[in-house]
């Protein structure tokens, strides 16, 4: 049930903080702001060598108050290291079948980055929990989610890149399940991050309410 529970938690929150930091202390500060603002899903990027330490520290301090995953998981070795460090899900800018196998073995969600429809469907058939629209979400914007959903409405979209306060509602209304957000949730102090997190969650809730009413 672990994979299903984590996937549902990510989809319910709708917002995922995309975090790249140099120190554990800064990672904890960002986590505090996100949690206080209602964003309880964080991706810690493995572009930084200390990603495993940050994941461990956040989980040790906040426990189940936050769902912490690993980002930029490019290969099977990184995937297993991330899981051993406590990552509850994995996200990547590419689709790597060996990472998919590790994710399936340990039963955690994997969101590979896909730039073509064929690649997206291959990843979905292999067991991907989400299809990360990256980097194409930066170029096509919120309409991309709708394009992906038309021929395959069950395709779960994780938009990462290009999400902001002005288009959050459009992404949700067009079908994206999870929105990866960087600078809004990683810049400034914990209070500023909390305020941005609250604003993002409010927009997600408003969009979902409007969809029900329409």
| pLDDT of amino acid 121 | 94
Give residue limits of the domains in the chain.
2-213
Q: What pLDDT, on a 0 to 100 scale, did the predictor assign at position 143?
A: 84
Per-residue pLDDT at 126: 97
In 3D space, the residue among 152, 156, 109, 113 whose CA is nearest the CA of residue 132 turns out to be 113
CB 16, CB 176: distance < 8 Å: no
Q: How many residues does the chain have?
A: 214
Q: Whole-angstrom distance between the N-terminal and C-terminal Cα of the chain?
A: 33
Residue 9's Cα: distance from chain center in Å? 11
Q: What is the pTM of this model?
A: 0.95
pLDDT the model gives residue 116:
87
User: Which tokens hold the place of 100?
Assistant: 């998919």
Q: Helices H, strands E: what count in the chain?
A: 10, 9
Q: Which CATH number applies to 2-213?
A: 3.20.20.70
Task: Give pLDDT, residue 137.
Answer: 67
Q: Give the burial class of 186: count Cβ atoms within 10 A of its Cβ; 0-12 exposed, 13-18 middle, 19 or more buried.
A: buried
Chain centre distance of CA 74: 16
- Residue 37 has a pLDDT of 98
| Residues of the chain falling short of pLDDT 70 | 1, 136-139
Q: Which two tokens stand for residue 45?
A: 């990027």
């Amino acid at each position: 049930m672990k994979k299903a529970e984590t996937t549902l938690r990510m989809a319910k929150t709708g917002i995922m903080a995309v975090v790249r930091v140099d120190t554990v202390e800064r990672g904890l500060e960002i986590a505090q702001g996100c949690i206080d603002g209602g964003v309880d899903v964080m991706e810690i990027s493995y572009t930084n060598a200390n990603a495993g330490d940050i994941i461990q520290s956040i989980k040790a301090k906040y426990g189940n108050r936050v769902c912490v995953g690993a980002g930029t998981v490019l290969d099977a070795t990184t995937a297993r290291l991330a899981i051993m460090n406590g990552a509850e899900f994995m996200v990547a800018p590419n689709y790597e079948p060996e990472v998919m196998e590790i994710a399936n073995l340990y039963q955690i969600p994997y969101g590979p980055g896909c730039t073509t429809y064929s690649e997206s469907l291959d990843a979905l058939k292999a067991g991907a929990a989400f299809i990360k629209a990256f980097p194409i979400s930066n170029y096509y914007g919120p309409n991309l989610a709708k394009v992906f959903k038309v021929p395959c409405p069950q395709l779960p979209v994780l938009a990462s890149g290009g999400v902001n306060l002005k288009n959050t509602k459009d992404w949700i209304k067009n079908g994206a399940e999870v929105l990866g957000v960087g600078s809004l949730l990683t810049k400034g102090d914990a209070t500023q991050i909390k305020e941005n997190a609250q604003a993002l969650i409010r927009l997600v809730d408003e969009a979902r309410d409007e969809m029900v009413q329409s």
